[in-house]
Amino acid sequence: MERRILGGTGMSVSELALGTMMFGSWGSPDRRAAHTVIGMALDAGINLVDTADIYGEGGTEEIVGEALRGRRDDVVLATKFHGPMGRDPNHRGNSRRWIMRAVEDSLRRLGTDRIDLYQVHGVDPDTDIDETLSALSDLVRAGKVRAIGTSNFPADQLVEARWTAERRGHVHFRSEQPAYSLLSRSVEMHVLPTAQRHGMGVLAWGPLSAGWLSARDATPGKGRTVLEPQRFDLTVPANAAKARAVSRLRELAAEAGMPLTHLALGFVQAHPAVTSVIIGPRTADQLTDLLAGAGRVLDDGILDRIDGIVPPGSDLNPADNHAVRRLLADPARRRRPGPVRGARGTARR
């Protein structure tokens, strides 16, 4: 399997990475089966394993740690922090207070003394990026973390973080992990070019678009655990548009003599900004299929036809853009506070 250097870190990573979100309570709770899939991936040449503290409420990190016993030195191990790990509002986000607690929890669950790539799992509007970078830089200098990265960051936040790191003398973010697939291409507009311009590695997640591009029939998400069932509701016009696009993409894949999954991987691998594509198999059979798509090269004719089905830089369903969705989730962040109004709409002072 081809290797590439991750964002100037000197760490060599495989062109496919193993995502682990589906191991544990969010997917398959069978720990032994998960260990088997992880072992198969490593034996096939995958050396980048990506997880997050929030997956399975910490259980996924424990599964990964168990599976890597005796093989830890052969793996570039990546995890993430940011999401809520309990009801306490201080047990989430990007503050120094939480980072210092979160990293120790992840190290314990993973059964390791260092994390090769520690990633911020989203933007925290309530925390100054200087605070976040300062804490992460201290972890790098302490040897608990080798490199730092981001996930689901918009381009302007990547630029602000780089400016802050240079001005304040902090460690730079070395990678970004965005959602990128045949059906979700908005990162082509700004995120991927920004990463290229600043020498950041890109770990693209969701190449199968949460199952839309892996279904063998016209029912996306059928037969799999779905964390966000609304993403598969075909009464939603944007989802219906995705279903029509998937039908056309399946026909294109058949004409090209490959499974739709391989067309999906080949498309993401074709972008020059992408360092590694994160696959998230739940079973050994799914892993076997995806491994066969490693190194798939799509010619310009196929890529042009893909552009005709899903325009470059577009998301067929804007709700699939995680970075924007999270930033706009709270209406209070985009509405100026005004006077409290009574039941009849009159202002009360």
Distance CA 189, CA 187 (A): 5
Q: What is the pLDDT of residue 332?
A: 76
Reply yes or no on domain 3-211+271-296 having CATH 3.20.20.100: yes
Distance CA 221, CA 231 (A): 9
| The one-letter amino acid at 164 | T
Cα-based distances in Å from 2 to 6, 16, 38, 47: 13, 9, 18, 11
Higher pLDDT, 229 or 308: 308
Tell me if residue 55 is catalytic: yes
Judging by beta carbons within 10 Å of its beta carbon (0-12, 13-18, 19+), is residue 91 exposed, middle or buried? middle
The encoded tokens of residue 98 equal 């939480």
* pLDDT value at 134 more than 60: yes
- Domain parsing of the chain, residue ranges: 3-211+271-296
* pLDDT value at 66 more than 50: yes
* Average pLDDT score over residue span 225-243: 81
* Average pLDDT score over residue span 242-263: 97
CA terminus-to-terminus distance, the chain: 67
* pLDDT value at 223 more than 50: no
* Average pLDDT score over residue span 123-148: 97
Please name the residues in contact with 206: beta carbons below 8 A apart, sequence gap of 6 or more: 179, 180, 181, 184, 278, 280
Q: What are phi and psi of 141, to 5 degrees?
A: -70, -25
Cα-based distances in Å from 105 to 57, 63, 70, 90, 266: 12, 14, 21, 14, 36
Q: What is the pLDDT of residue 233?
A: 87
Q: Is the whole model's pTM more than 0.75, yes or no?
A: yes
* pLDDT value at 326 more than 70: no
Q: What is the pLDDT of residue 349?
A: 47
Catalytic residue among 20, 23, 48, 55: 55
* pLDDT value at 221 more than 70: no
Q: How confident is the model at residue 323 (pLDDT cuts 50, 70, 90)?
A: low
Predicted confidence (pLDDT) per residue in 334-349, tens digit: 788 877 655 555 555 4
Q: What is the pLDDT of residue 343?
A: 54
Distance CA 183, CA 208 (A): 9
* pLDDT value at 283 more than 50: yes
Higher pLDDT, 343 or 319: 319
Q: What is the pLDDT of residue 312?
A: 97
SS3 for 269? helix
* Average pLDDT score over residue span 308-318: 95
Find out whether 274 and 204 touch, Cβ atoms under 8 Å.
yes
Q: What is the pLDDT of residue 46?
A: 98
Please name the residues in contact with 336: beta carbons below 8 A apart, sequence gap of 6 or more: none
SS3 for 343? coil
Average pLDDT, the chain: 92
Q: What is the pLDDT of residue 229?
A: 72
Q: Considering the chain, what percentage of its residues have pLDDT values greater than 70?
A: 91
* Average pLDDT score over residue span 218-246: 76
Work out the angle at residue 96's Cα, subtended by the Cα atoms of residues 93 and 101, and round it to the nearest 5 degrees. Answer: 80
Distance CA 220, CA 214 (A): 8
Predicted confidence (pLDDT) per residue in 147-201, tens digit: 999 999 999 999 999 999 999 999 999 999 999 999 999 999 999 999 999 999 9
Cα-based distances in Å from 346 to 252, 340, 343: 59, 9, 7
> Which of 21-30, 89-98, 230-239, 338-347 is predicted with the least confidence, judged by mean pLDDT?
338-347
- Helical spans, DSSP H, in 76-117: 96-110
